[in-house]
Structure 1
Amino acid sequence: MPSTPLTRLDDIASLLAGSGTRLYGGEAISQLQHALQSAHAAEQAGASPALITAALLHDLGHLVCEQGDEDVTNGINDHHEAVAVHSLQHLFADEVLQPIALHVAAKRYLCAVQPGYHAALSPASQASLLLQGGVMSAAACQRFAARPWAADAVLLRHCDDLAKDPAASPPPLAHYLAIAANVLKATP
């Protein structure tokens, strides 16, 4: 888990602008580009500001854990979804955190219920799926679908899948940080 919690949007901006320039785990884009493209896909889908923010930040745990390019190949699951939630819990409420927490489970779910979904995943995403528990069983699918934030997690997952285009040019980070500022937890 992070040694210093993320307590301001500036902390997130610094992390994304710095470590976010690294390649995104076996894909042909950077972590920052993946984050921006995910948020843009959510925005284009008409998602709420909270879900756009979740799309922007869903893989932040990879940066906090300093995921290496070969981690998945070497069998390392960094549990980035849990790390992201832990890192962001001081800033955001469940409407942002829960879709992030469930986006890996949503991939496992979609592989089970949507024909062709698994085959359409990038090779890196297929490899990480095995480390993340593989395709869900029918019983696990029922439990997942009954969860309060499952639909948001599935939409986030689809945005994640669309966010791997080296030629894409989404709006800049400042655009999405302004959206995130509108869904920050109220300070006491």
Structure 2
Amino acid sequence: MTNAYDALTSMFDGEGGQEYLGEQVSMAQHMLQTGRAAREAGAPTALVVAAVLHDVGHFSGAISGRELMSGNNNHHDDIAAAWLSTWFDADVTEPVRLHVAAKRYLCATDPTYYDKLSDASKFTMSVQGGSMSGEEISEFAAEPFAEAACQLRKFDDIGKNPDAPVVTLADFRADIDALDRTLSA
């Protein structure tokens, strides 16, 4: 079985160079900047890894990121979490699975959050269901990884700076390897 880092390297080096949903960074740059934001905030290793990997569902999803921008929800959050579960436990995969719901939750519970989103994130939120209803808010808040997903979502918002210093997947290898179950088996 291929370890997580090797599988991710080919994705980041290949599809990772593609445009990221109308943002001014590539998909790989976005995810790596998100990971750097998590690390700089002192997040636990699992959340740093989740931040680096949160959008891999755009790489491997049945509906591409471009189709998401055309109005078709690609459920990249669920796809990413399922794919990542090959290597990682819930402390990585669950914040990834919940990061879209966290955006919807934060928009519903923080009146200033929506205005902080990029134009592309505002558009995709409308495709992904918009702000949560009261019942959805309660259900999300009861999720064991809801807080981690909200933290991930806020790091996600930071990772869209075309002028940010370059960070590479290799900068996160030790964290990825430390949590990869296949390396400790």
Q: TM-score scaled by structure 1?
A: 0.92
* Aligned residues of 1:102 and 1:150 also touching (Cα < 8 A): yes
Give matches, 1:68-107, under 5 Å.
68-69=65-66, 71-107=67-103
Query: Residue 176 of structure 2 aligns with which residue?
Result: 180
Structure 2, unaligned runs of 5 or more: none
RMSD: 1.6
Query: Residue 59 of structure 1 aligns with which residue?
Result: 55
Query: Residue 113 of structure 2 aligns with which residue?
Result: 117
Total equivalences in the alignment: 183
* Identical-pair percentage: 40
Q: Deviations over 1:10-33 (max 9, x none)?
A: 011110111100011111100010
Taking a change above 3 Å as real, the CA distance of residues 135 and 147 of structure 1, as seen in their structure-2 partners, is same
Q: Tell me how far apart the structure 1 counterparts of residues 82 and 169 of structure 2 sit (CA, whole Å).
A: 22
- The answer on 1:38 being equivalent to 2:34 is yes
Higher helix share: 2
Structure 1 residue corresponding to 2:129, chosen from 117, 133, 147: 133
The letter for the 2-side match of 1:77 is N
Taking a change above 3 Å as real, the CA distance of residues 6 and 143 of structure 1, as seen in their structure-2 partners, is farther
Taking a change above 3 Å as real, the CA distance of residues 104 and 44 of structure 1, as seen in their structure-2 partners, is same
Taking a change above 3 Å as real, the CA distance of residues 99 and 6 of structure 1, as seen in their structure-2 partners, is farther
1:34 deviation in Å? 0.3
Q: Tell me how far apart the structure 2 counterparts of residues 81 and 184 of structure 1 sit (CA, whole Å).
A: 19
1:130 deviation in Å? 1.1
- The answer on 1:108 being equivalent to 2:139 is no
Q: Tell me how far apart the structure 2 counterparts of residues 150 and 32 of structure 1 sit (CA, whole Å).
A: 25
* Aligned residues of 2:3 and 2:180 also touching (Cα < 8 A): no
Q: TM-score scaled by structure 2?
A: 0.93
Taking a change above 3 Å as real, the CA distance of residues 119 and 77 of structure 1, as seen in their structure-2 partners, is same
Name the SS of the counterpart of 1:47 in structure 2. Answer: coil
Query: Residue 43 of structure 2 aligns with which residue?
Result: 47
Structure 1, unaligned runs of 5 or more: none
72-81 or 45-54: bigger deviation: 72-81
* Aligned residues of 1:109 and 1:136 also touching (Cα < 8 A): yes
